[in-house]
């Protein structure tokens, strides 16, 4: 059985499979690599990804090790002046990224070249490059086509840990939305055996919006995840969580719904009290594993939703109820080199003297770098220092202005140039909060096996 590239991408890219193109640090594009259809005028005709960094025919991205740098095509791939047509790489990309294509820090600078809706930059440009990465839930979350709000990595990593999703677990998810959480949860429950017989762990996902259901169904099949995710088109408030009348026997549940309290009665171990007398004629089947405690997380943006959810949980016998909010903050770490400002393009007062000074300093650094590289170090010629930040004994971690510290020259004589300077850490100016409140609870196992 073919394993999903999300679970085992193999060592190299292949045709008819998903890859994530990293255009720059925060700009990722998913693309389904296609085999070239033929060679014309010296270049492979077929799908091409056109970006502001140049044109990248799929043929140049096939069968290369994941993580490879791909150079922009040196030839005009024929896309200059060519009308965008369905099935071209550009379309494939846009379909894959949808309307949510993100711009990154380079986009402002590139905006001028990137006119005419991104078509013009199909001009051959051999200067640009991109990297090709294997699909992971994290990369998919940052590049997927948004059909709804999605759950992001800081939230889902914590959620999956708290609801104890692990290899072999059975997990219920509603609603599926854009599938961000689905991809992360399927990796968490997959037990590593590709063959159906040995495979354990499954996600039962529910979505009541018909179009989203169909898109998600196709996506799961394209990603080779159809066998591990059972997607059902249903309103779970009314229809509950059984699949073909049978219990999924779930032990982990994640509800990303506007009214989780309406779904909770169906996640009980007993028939909900609201059942009609007609319902009572039929046998009640719980979707939960009768031999395990069930761990749930609900994801709600408003505290009023949380209050109603918690009340329903208390009524229905859930215990250990608590609420968490994830406040994620990125820290940017870099080295600040005193006296060397190479930000020519960003500064406003770059005089010829600044440039001259910087060039002299660069030449100096280069010379010292060569000297450093050529010089054997006492006793550690064969050793590969794994710690980039380790500063030789007696040396400071960078130039200081203090009188008892070593001068910049002294410091740099034993420290490679990339380790010069003080380590600076900057936090994001604002903590991006919040995505949602996470309510966790446990429905204990009855201890009677049913």
Query: Is 90 a binder of ligand SAM (CB under 6 A)?
Result: no
Please tell me the distance from the alpha carbon of residue 180 to that of residue 203, in angstroms, as a whole number: 13
Interacting stretch for ligand SAM, rule CB under 6 A, among 39-47, 232-240, 329-337, 393-401?
232-240
Closest to 293 in 3D by CA, of 167, 442, 185: 442
Q: Please, which of residues 117-176 interact with ligand SAM by CB under 6 A?
A: 148-151, 174-175
- Interaction pattern, residues 187-216, with ligand SAM; x per rule: CB under 6 A: -------------------xxxx--x----
Peptide bond into 434 cis (omega under 30): yes
Asked if residue 219 binds ligand SAM (CB under 6 A), the reply is no
Shortest Å, Cβ 315 to ligand SAM: 20
Q: Which helix (H) or strand (E) holds 311?
A: helix 303-315
List the structure tokens of 315. 């009524």
Going by DSSP bridges, is the β-strand pair 229-233/129-133 parallel, antiparallel, or unpaired?
unpaired
CB of 140 to ligand SAM, least distance (A): 10
Q: Exposed, middle or buried by CB within 10 Å (0-12, 13-18, 19+), for 173?
A: buried
Residue 181 touching ligand SAM (CB under 6 A): yes
Q: Minimal distance in Å, beta carbon 100 to ligand SAM?
A: 12
179 lies in the binding site for ligand SAM (CB under 6 A): yes
One DSSP character per residue, 381-442 reads: TT-----TT---TT--SS---SSSSPPHHHHHHHS-GGG-SEEEEEE-SS-B--S-EEEEEE
Q: Whole-number minimum distance, CB 102 to ligand SAM, in Å?
A: 16
By the rule CB under 6 A, 225 interacts with ligand SAM: no
For residue 235, state whether it binds ligand SAM (rule: CB under 6 A): yes
- CA-CA distance, 235 to 209, in Å (whole number)? 8
Q: Which of 4, 13, 17, 178 binds ligand SAM (CB under 6 A)?
A: 178
Instruction: Tell the smallest beta-carbon distance from residue 162 to ligand SAM (Å).
Output: 16
H or E element in which residue 325 lies: strand 319-325
> How near is the Cβ of 170 to ligand SAM at its closest, in Å?
18
**119 within 8 A of 291, measured Cβ to Cβ:** no
Asked whether position 229 contacts ligand SAM by CB under 6 A, the answer is no
Over the window 254 to 273, marking each residue x when it contacts ligand SAM by CB under 6 A and - when it does not, the resulting string is: --xxx---------------
Question: Given the rule CB under 6 A, which residues bind ligand SAM?
Answer: 148-151, 174-175, 177-181, 206-209, 212, 235-237, 256-258
């Amino acid at each position: 059985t073919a394993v999903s590239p999300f679970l085992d991408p193999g060592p190299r890219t292949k045709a008819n499979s998903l890859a994530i193109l990293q255009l720059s640090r925060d700009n990722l594009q998913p693309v389904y690599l296609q085999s070239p259809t033929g060679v014309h005028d010296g270049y492979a005709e077929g799908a091409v990804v056109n970006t502001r960094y140049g044109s990248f025919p799929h043929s140049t991205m096939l069968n290369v090790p994941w993580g490879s740098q791909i150079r922009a095509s040196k030839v005009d791939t024929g896309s200059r002046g060519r009308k965008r047509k369905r099935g071209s790489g550009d379309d494939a990309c846009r379909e894959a990224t949808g309307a949510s294509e993100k711009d990154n820090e380079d986009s402002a600078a590139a905006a001028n070249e990137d006119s005419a809706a991104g078509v013009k930059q199909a001009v051959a440009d051999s200067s640009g490059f991109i990297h090709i990465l294997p699909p992971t839930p994290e990369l998919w979350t940052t590049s997927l086509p948004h059909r709804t709000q999605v759950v992001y990595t800081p939230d889902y990593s914590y959620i999956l840990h708290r609801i104890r999703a692990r290899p072999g677990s059975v997990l219920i998810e509603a609603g599926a939305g854009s599938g961000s959480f689905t991809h992360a949860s399927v990796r968490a429950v997959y037990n590593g055996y590709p063959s159906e017989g040995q495979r354990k762990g499954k996600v039962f996902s529910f979505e009541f919006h018909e179009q989203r259901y169909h898109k998600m169904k196709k996506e799961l099949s394209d990603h080779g995840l159809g066998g591990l995710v059972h997607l059902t088109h249903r309103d779970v408030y009314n229809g509950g969580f059984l699949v073909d009348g049978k219990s999924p026997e779930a032990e982990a549940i994640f509800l990303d719904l506007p009214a989780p309290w309406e779904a909770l009665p169906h996640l009980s171990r007993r028939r909900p009290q609201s059942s009609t007398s007609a319902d009572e004629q039929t046998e009640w089947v719980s979707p939960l594993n009768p031999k395990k405690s069930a761990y749930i997380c609900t994801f709600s943006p408003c505290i009023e939703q949380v209050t109603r959810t918690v009340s329903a949980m208390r009524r229905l016998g859930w215990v250990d109820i608590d609420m968490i909010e994830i406040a994620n903050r990125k820290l940017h770490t870099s080295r600040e080199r005193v006296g060397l400002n190479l930000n020519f393009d960003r500064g406003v007062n770059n005089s010829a003297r600044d440039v001259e000074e910087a060039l002299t300093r660069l030449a100096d650094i280069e010379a010292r770098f060569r000297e450093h590289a050529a010089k054997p170090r006492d006793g550690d010629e064969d050793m590969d220092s794994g710690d980039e930040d380790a500063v030789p004994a007696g040396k400071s971690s960078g130039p200081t202005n203090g009188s008892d510290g070593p001068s910049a020259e002294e410091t740099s004589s034993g420290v490679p140039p990339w380790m010069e300077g003080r380590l600076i850490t900057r936090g994001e100016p604002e903590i991006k909060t919040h995505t949602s409140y996470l309510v966790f609870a446990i429905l204990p196992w009855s201890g009677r096996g049913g």
